[in-house]
Amino acid sequence: MKMHNPPHPGEVLNELCLEPAGLSVTEAASALGVSRKTLSMILNGRSGISPEMAVRLSIAFGTTAESWLAQQIQLDLALAERNRKKLGVKRIAA
C-alpha cells in the first residue's frame, strides 16, 4: 500500500526498537557493528537504510531485512512522487 507521507525508517527504528529497549545510540551502534555517526545519520533522517544495514537490523532486532528495505522504498517513492511534475517526462503512446 502506497503511503503519502511515510515516516523515515530511522524514526521507526528509534521509536520501536531503541527506545523500548532503553538503548543509547552508542550502545545500539556498537551492537550493530557500525559507527555512532552512521547510526545517528539514519536516526536523524539524513541517511537511508542500505541492504547491509537492513540485514544488521534484522539480526539485532529479530525482524526481516525486507521490512526495513520496504520502509525505505516507501519513503523514497513518496519523495520521488512529490517531484513528478518536475521530471519533465512525456508520455509515450504505445
- How confident is the model over 48-71, as pLDDT tens digits? 999 999 999 999 999 999 999 999
Position 94 pLDDT exceeds 90: no
Position 89 pLDDT exceeds 60: yes
Q: Which cell numbers in the block locate residue 64?
A: 526481516
| pLDDT at position 3 | 62
- Mean pLDDT for 58-86 is 96
| pLDDT at position 4 | 80
Which is nearest to 32 in space by CA: 47, 13, 6? 13
pTM across the whole model: 0.90
**Inter-CA distances, 91 with 61, 82, 88, 94, Å:** 44, 18, 10, 9
- Mean pLDDT for 16-21 is 97
Distance CA 12, CA 82 (A): 22
Domains of the chain and any CATH numbers: 9-79 (1.10.260.40)
The neighbour count for residue 39, using CB atoms within 10 Å, is: 25
Q: How long is the chain?
A: 94
Position 37 pLDDT exceeds 60: yes
